[in-house]
Amino acid sequence: MKRRFTAKLWIAASMALATAGVTFAADDCTGVPSQAALKAALKSAVSAPGGNGGFGLQMWATVVNRDGVVCAVAFTGTDRGDQWPGSRVISAQKANTANAFSLPGLALSTANLYSATQPGGSLYGLQHSNPVDTSVAYGGDSANNGQANDAMTGGKIGGVNVFGGGLALYNSSHKLVGAVGVSGDSSCADHNIAWRTRANLGMDYVPGGVSGDSTRPDNIVYDIALRGVSAGTSASGWGHPVCSDAAKTISGNLTQTKP
């Protein structure tokens, strides 16, 4: 089995080599939130006044760096089984997607990709590219899931997810440093929780996006006109289905991104 450094060991090794004058590849987790910071930000987002428009469930979150390396995994419940177990890897998949398809000047949330990846859409088939690395996703001791030593940490997870919950991370220098993915509730609530998590982390200096709202550039877009029982058509091409009226209302009042 291929051995991987945890984020802590990788950073420690990188610092030691840097001290020795050795240049290391930029696959470390400096510049992105720590596991403790992610957990605190996520818990605060889940318990936000007024809720998030979903079922009020416990959540998973993952942070990846710009190279797609998993740097932190966290959950909000008391135990790893208090959240949907399948949402652990989905949160990582969302983080990978938001990072992989965002640029220094253009942020795409996973919610923005829904309509474009449907049959006939401009990005149809994207969701089948870049598959999850199952050895990263399901290796290691399950007792460590969501902890600082989660087995995903230090590995490149891969995966493409095309519904709400993944957002790129931009620091106060307006640098794209990675992404956060959130999963565990309805996809619309996931987006709202991810948005609040990113804001809590102070990594929402978003340069631009496709939402049509310059104050929330990569926000979820609700512009799908239903045609009978079909999936409907998004006027902008970046639309996402409405999960609940509450989630839609909340999304329109989320904290504005920083200039």
pLDDT of res. 243: 97
pLDDT of res. 226: 74
63 found inside a domain: yes
pLDDT in tens, 230-242: 568 999 999 999 9
d(Cα 159, Cα 180) in Å, to the nearest integer?
A: 14
256 found inside a domain: no
User: 230: how many CB neighbours lie within 10 A of its CB?
Assistant: 7
d(Cα 149, Cα 119) in Å, to the nearest integer?
A: 39
d(Cα 234, Cα 68) in Å, to the nearest integer?
A: 29
* DSSP structural state of residue 82: G
The encoded tokens of residue 192 equal: 């709202």
pLDDT of res. 139: 95
Q: What is the mean pLDDT of residues 17-42?
A: 72
Angle at 254 between CA 159 and CA 209, to 5 degrees: 55
DSSP string for residues in 113-182: GTGGGSTTSTTTTGGGSS---HHHHH-S-GGGTTSTT-TTTTSB------SS-EEEEE-TT--EEEEEEE
Strand partners, 233: 225
Instruction: Give the whole-number percent of the chain exceeding pLDDT 70.
Output: 88
CA atoms within 13 A of residue 99's CA, in its CB half-sphere? 28
Q: What is the mean pLDDT of residues 73-91?
A: 98
d(Cα 28, Cα 8) in Å, to the nearest integer?
A: 9
Return left, alpha or beta for 169; rule: phi > 0 is left, psi -120 to 50 is alpha, else beta. Answer: beta
Owner of token pair 């998004």: 234
2 found inside a domain: no
258 found inside a domain: no
259 found inside a domain: no
d(Cα 211, Cα 112) in Å, to the nearest integer?
A: 8
pLDDT in tens, 118-161: 998 999 999 999 999 999 999 999 999 999 999 999 999 999 99
Q: What is the mean pLDDT of residues 25-44?
A: 90
pLDDT of 30 over the 70 cut = yes
pLDDT-derived band at 227, boundaries 50, 70, 90 = low
83 found inside a domain: yes
162 found inside a domain: yes
d(Cα 196, Cα 94) in Å, to the nearest integer?
A: 16
Q: In what order do the strands lie in the sheet with 176-183?
A: 70-75, 60-65, 176-183, 166-170
pLDDT in tens, 171-206: 999 999 999 999 999 999 999 999 999 999 999 999
CATH code at position 167: 3.30.450.150
- How many domains is the chain partitioned into structurally? 1
d(Cα 122, Cα 184) in Å, to the nearest integer?
A: 28
pLDDT of res. 21: 36
The encoded tokens of residue 191 equal: 């987006």
Q: Are 157 and 68 in contact (CB under 8 A)?
A: yes
pLDDT of res. 214: 97
- 3 state SS of 42: helix
137 found inside a domain: yes
Write out the residue range of the structural domain in which residue 182 sits. Answer: 7-251
What lies within 8 Å, CB to CB, of 80 at 6+ separation is 88, 142, 143, 145, 146
